[in-house]
Amino acid sequence: METEEKETKNKRIQFSFPILTIRTQIFTGIFDKLGSLRVSKIASWIALAIAPIIAGIGLYTIFSSLFVLLSTPTAGDIIGELGPATLLPIPGINPLLGPIFYGWFALIFSIAIHEGAHGIAARSLGFRVKSSGLLFFLFFPIGAFVDVDEKQIEKAKPKRALRVMAAGVGANIVIGVVCLIGLLFIMNGLTPAIEGVYIKSVEEGMPAEVAGLLPNDVFISINNIHISNWENLTSILNKKIPGEIINVTVARGEYWSEEFSNSITLTELENRTVMGIIGGDLRIKEILQFYQTITPQTILLYLIPPAFAPVPFSDTLSQFYIHGLGNQWSIVANLLFWPWLINFSLAIFNALPIYPLDGGRIFNIALYSKMGHRWNKKLISQITSAVTIILAIVIILVLFIPFI
């Protein structure tokens, strides 16, 4: 025991390029206090019940994804268009992991929750936590770890070991669901600031630019006729001829509280009468309704990052909504969305029966518990390895097929 403690102390700071590991005993007291609570033991049983369900969801997801990619070649086009960045586990580069601030915060937070749950469950069941600490990529924090005494885990009864292994997955799910509930409250407090035709860009040298229209303006009226959608606008322009003058009123400024009006002399482009803008319907009421309606189908929207769908709290759309929290509502929404998404994704991934992930270890321990009296350890280890290899191949195919 003393030898192990001396070795741990001597290895408090380890650097194996590019990973820096810092071990500490700071969190040991926290694990002891939380582990002594009765609720910790109950939580580990709940986690053990949750883990197989999450593993089932994960298996269904990866195999159905592979089936869709193989049967529908165009299914991977969106990911393919985003490029190889989706393969890199780096927030700020990979759009699936979020912008750099929200992504790193969510990733570190989720990993800390996962590992901390292992430590608490271990102490609640009497296992020793040798050390815990932080992981850095060079000098950037990327996560945390908890080093539970593996010898004790190996000698323990299967259900006790399984409860420690399942704790991380269970904690990620619970925290993720709490964040999701908070996000749902935010979404249901939103109201559209404005609706109509949005100007995405103004073409250089064209009449709209000359008249002073700007990107982000929203049409209110043309010749005192209210513009509610793109169809209204195009139907008016189709009745005009090049050189004709129209009076345009748009909204701009914070929450589009300011109005700007001017006359525009229309011109001709490719046999069409145009003013020189690229725009489209905002549809923010319709988008918001999807996120405010709670059904099994719409909940799936909360698993789609802003890079793949119009999301109310994205940088592009958040400006079109008003919330009682003021201008900072989208920050709060993102601080809830990304931890929800990363916690859920981390739980799914770790629950898969891939060794040495938690799910792989759970699979191995459970298989030995059920079949250990018939099969020897070597056969069980071979089965675990075979399942790991098969799932690893499937995941690699799902990741790379969109780029083939």
Domain definitions of the chain by residue range? 12-187+336-403, 197-281
**Are residues 175 and 339 in contact, defined by beta-carbon separation less than 8 angstroms?**
yes
3-7, 209-213, 229-233, 289-293: segment of lowest average pLDDT: 3-7
Residue-level pLDDT at 92: 76
Exposure string for 200-234, b = 16+ CB within 10 A, e = fewer: eebeeebbbbebebeebbbbbbbeeeebebbebbe
- For residues 207 and 136, the model is more confident at 207
- Give dist(CA 41, CA 82) in Å, integer: 44
pTM summary value: 0.84
pLDDT in tens, 326-377: 889 999 999 999 999 999 999 999 999 999 889 999 999 999 888 877 888 8
pLDDT attached to residue 6: 47
Predicted confidence band of residue 143 (pLDDT cuts 50, 70, 90): low
Count other Cβ atoms within 10 Å, centred on residue 250: 27
Predicted confidence (pLDDT) at residue 206 exceeds the cutoff of 60: yes
* pLDDT score, position 140: 66
Write out the two tokens for 260: 């700007």
Amino acid, res. 59: L
Looking at the chain, the whole-number percentage of residues with pLDDT higher than 90 is 47
For residue 2, the model assigns a pLDDT of 46
Q: CA 359, CA 210: separation in Å to the nearest integer? A: 62
Q: What percent of the chain has pLDDT over 70?
A: 94
Q: Binning pLDDT at 50, 70 and 90, where does residue 24 land?
A: confident
- 277 alpha-carbon distance from chain centroid: 34
Lowest mean pLDDT among 7-21, 223-237, 340-354, 367-381: 7-21
Q: 339 preceded by cis ω (within 30°)? A: no
The fourth-level CATH superfamily of domain 197-281 is PDZ domain (2.30.42.10)
User: Which pLDDT score, from 0 to 100, does residue 8 have?
Assistant: 46
Buried b (16+ CB within 10 A) or exposed e, 300-327: ebbeebbeeebbbbbeebbbbbbbeeee
- Is residue 291 pLDDT above 80, yes or no? yes
> Which of 155-159, 244-248, 294-298 has the lowest average pLDDT?
294-298
At residue 1, the pLDDT reads 47
pLDDT recorded at residue 10: 46
List beta partners, residue 16.
19
Are the C-beta atoms of residues 186 and 282 closer than 8 Å to each other? no
Q: Between 55 and 13, name the one with better pLDDT.
A: 55
What does the alpha-carbon distance between residue 44 and residue 117 come to, in Å, rounded to a whole number? 9
> Which of 8-12, 154-158, 168-172 has maximum average pLDDT?
168-172
Q: What's the mean pLDDT in 184-209?
A: 91
pLDDT, tens digit, for every residue of 63-112? 998 898 888 877 777 777 777 777 777 777 778 778 888 988 898 899 88
Tell whether the model's pLDDT for residue 3 goes beyond 90.
Answer: no
* Residue-averaged pLDDT of the chain: 87
pLDDT at position 17 is 64
Q: How far is CA 148 from the centre of its chain?
A: 29
Per-residue pLDDT, averaged over 21-42, amounts to 86
Structure confidence at residue 5 (pLDDT)? 47
pLDDT of residue 404 exceeding 90: no
